A = this chain, B = another copy of it.
Amino acid sequence: MTIVLGDNQYGKAETHLVRVSRDGETHRIKDLVVSIALAGDFGASHLAGDNSKVVPTDTQKNTVFAFAKEAPVGESEEFALRLARHFAADFVSVHRARVTIEEHGWSRIEVGGRPHPHAFASAGAERRLTTVTSTKDAAWVVSGLSDLVLLKSTGSEFWGYPKDRYTTLEETRDRVLSTGVLARWRYGRLDVDWATAFTRARGALVEAFASKHSLALQQTLYAMGSAALEACSDLAEIRLSLTNRHHFAVDLSPFGLENANEVFYAPDRPYGAIEGTVTRDDAPEPGLAW
């Protein structure tokens, strides 16, 4: 028996960059958390502590900040492409560079009904995501969003499921449906209007959640995924991970009260976890995208 090194990668995670751009009096900000992972010819570092091919993670961090000055950051996808291609192209030892960006949104504050030129409020917990993977020859872009939380107070049922000796759940024709959305979609091409594509995909996900009468969160997932693919032809595939944030109607009968789906308690755990991929049948191969 011999012990051998298998797959490996390394990089700097969670470099928090805030980029301010000035267009005269009016400022814009991009608030990005950038994580980098490099795979390649790094066996000597593992086996012998020979770092002659190891781009320090500190250098990776510096590169993020320098790149944010050397050219406009643009959309997260553009910035991630620029970074990933740099590491894959400029270092012989790097065979695959992956750059993941979480973007935090800011809304412009209104003062006296007019947008303020340089004051902003955090737009909330939702994050826009992108992951770009680059080799020396090719690149792939996966974008998405996380921490989007949705709720329908009706228009959701759950019944017709198999019962066994451990089943106690009552069937229901009306329940609250709430979900935390993690969506990641793979683009089938690189010449995309990233901002527009994001807006369309996000809008389709949210509208489908609201509009689709739901017999199962699985059905809602498929409707959301299909809607995103239909709304934006640049998307080849979408992977959705939806938590089922249970809202249980409280039994008020001990207090002589009825509860017609009005009073709910919302436990933190356990929760349902529904995951699925929706794809075009003619989608290009994913390559190293994921």
Contacts and interface: CB of A to CB of B under 8 A. Distances in A.
Interface of A: 1-22, 27, 29, 31, 33, 35, 37, 42, 45-59, 61-63, 65-66, 68-70, 90-91, 106, 109, 111-112, 116, 118-126, 148-155, 157-169, 176, 206-207, 209-211, 214-219, 221-222, 225-226, 229-230, 237, 243-244, 247, 250, 252, 254-259, 261-282
B266 A91 contact: no
Contacts of A37: 273, 275
Contacts of A51: 158-161, 215-216
A254 to B, nearest CB: 5
Given A45-B218, A215-B51, A8 B270 contact: no
Given A62-B166, A119-B151, A166-B255, 15 more contacts: A1-B281, A3-B278, A6-B279, A8-B275, A10-B272, A12-B270, A12-B272, A14-B270, A35-B273, A49-B218, A57-B270, A65-B263, A69-B257, A119-B155, A121-B149
Contacts of A126: 122, 124
Contacts of A56: 158, 161, 167, 169
A269 to B, nearest CB: 4
A-side interface mostly: mixed
Contacts of A12: 270-273
A179 to B, nearest CB: 11
A8 B162 contact: no
Given A19-B264, A149-B122, A270-B12, A58 B215 contact: no
A17 to B, nearest CB: 6
Nearest to A273: B13
Contacts of A254: 62, 168
Contacts of A158: 51, 56
A165 B67 CA distance: 12
Contact of A277 (B5, B48, B152): B5
A146 to B, nearest CB: 12
B52 A263 contact: no
Contacts of A155: 118-119
A67 to B, nearest CB: 9
B55 A221 contact: no
A111 to B, nearest CB: 5
Contact of A269 (B16, B55, B65): B16
A46 B276 contact: yes
Contacts of A160: 50-52
A266 B10 contact: no
B244 A57 contact: yes
8 contacts: A3-B230, A6-B237, A16-B266, A33-B269, A45-B216, A58-B167, A59-B161, A109-B207
